[in-house]
Structure 1
Amino acid sequence: MFEFLSVLWFFLIFILIAGYFVLDGFDLGIGVLSPFIAKNGEERAILRRAIGPVWDGNEVWLLTAGGALFAAFPNAYATTFSGFYLAVMLVLFGLIVRAVSFEFGAADPKWRPLWDGCFFVGSLLPAVLLGVAVGNIFAGIPMDAIGDYAGVPLLGLVTPFTLLVGLLGLAMFLAAGASWAALKAPLPSELQARAARLRMPLQVIALVLFVVVSFFALAIIGPEMDGNLAVLRWLFAALVIVALGASIAVGQFQGDDLKAFLAQSAAMIALVALLACSMFPVLVNATPDSVGPAITIWNAASSELSLTCMTIITCIGLPLVLAYHVIIYRTFRGRVKPEDLAH
């Protein structure tokens, strides 16, 4: 039972990460894109309204993933959060600034340029740094005998590979943001047309970066991947490419913004699933010069009692969270209307 629960929670954490990647992905993407696609106050208000009812609920998935990692695999939590301390603080700083600027930007016209700039920076920092962090746990970090990070803080985490992963994550966020903006902006409108035009180039960039990162990843730890999951890895890699291609096709040739957004979201889910299958059963890889071994589900899992209690709580809580999201997205479905901007 202990082994089953350890494997279960490994993949449940990645499911939570996928939920954050998709749901808060378009929020962060819109925050980064807003200075470039919103040309006046009304268009900025439309973008704020497009994510206003859902952005805070979307961030819950990141908090839940962090909490689940702490409870299920405390050793992995300790290594990543202490080793990536400065990067984590920058991410949290970005999320806090983003939340404050989002709320004050609509109510403080005098300082609106400042809040718009903070909204951009607060969205850009998490969008890039989260990908860099993923690149590090995949490629490996130097660890001492007790599993503590033994590298240079922050600067030691930036390598050509981790930077490429960060750019891939940013490109996926931007493509999702453009897709959501095209889906929610009034039709017809210049804002919707700009977002729709920008969607395809961003998806092409994401596709190119995905191919490049995949070749790097195979060169770095390809031989160490679990051979039993090879078929799933190829399947999810193909799904990333197919879903991005489908999003481009339906968005550009059919003009169907909803299908384009759903296909973009499917590509993001497949990308996280590919990461999970590539890393299993490793939570944090170790570099060849590390004194300590890699952190896996076998040497980092908490007790069977803890995992059992977490599973019971998840069976109760996760359906409630999903029901909340269904209700919110159904309530605020459809494009933003002029009368919505008054609220």
Structure 2
Amino acid sequence: MKKRGKGMAAAFYGTGYGNGFPDVSTAKVQMNNRGQVSVCIGATEVGQGAKTILTQIAAEVLGLEMKDIRLLCEDTDTSPDAGTAAASRQTYNSGNAVKKAAEALKNILLERAQKHLELPSAHGLAVEDRQVYLKAYPKKRVHFRELVGEEPIRVEASFVAQTTPVDEETGAGAPYWPYTFCCYGVEVEVDTETGIVEVVRGVCAQDVGRAINPELIEGQIDGGFAMGLGYGLMEDLHLVQGEIKHNRFANYLIPTALDMPELEKMIIEDPESTGPFGAKGIGEPVMIPVAPAILNAIYDAIGIRFYEIPVTPEKILAAIRKRKKEGNCGNDFER
């Protein structure tokens, strides 16, 4: 017999290292006399889209297209330290560092353009298409390359996340900033004869601050859901006296595309004032509520609460047999 159930779970997550640990990202931005822009930062790309996001941020500040930006990262010879690709911090921390450096470069261009265009102030100047122009009189403009001398313009900027240690006695403090929020709802189908649980539908509402790249956000949600699904239902190391028995993918199961349900993604935008253009990091938060939501849905379907994961078919069947043996099933399998 197949039983359906629905479950929800919500989470809040503090991004960055937290608890007063120094959380610093540094970026360098350079422009040569051909108007070409390079961004150097040690932000590692591990599939989360850091290279795309950081390029977008620099391009937005400088009024350029992404193809106009050369991003140099993961090279310790040229790129300053940006911290680890962990704690969902790169968009927020390194994004802020790139934004600050790009803004510093932009200000130098505006000051030089003011003198070149013989204007009384830099007020009202803007950048687009490798040019600085006067918004009130757009014909008055100058190309970036005319503003750079023999030596390239080089600027460097750092961003330090705001975090304070928690008081060990009172528990008070601001260990993380900013926080992001996420909620999942899922519907499962539990086969009471085989113990197999299928997630048939899911919905995710994720607070992102501001969506710099909505497609990357949706990709993060898909990836986070897949990881949470595996965490909750499949991925069992089967540790026996310190030895991992499931030590190959033949017996350590992970989700495939066929295990993924229809997943509705809701991007919630409430710009974070301290974030780059209002953005927050969401790499890890999109995974956290998945397994709890699935376990709640299983409970809704068969009336049995599980407290250990993964909830494998063997555990489902064992719990059903125990319930029947104890004679406590009531109407759980009749509804």
TM range (shorter): under 0.3
TM-score, structure 1 as length reference: 0.22
Pick the structure with greater CA Rg. 2
Structure with the larger helix share = 1
TM-score, L = length of structure 2: 0.22
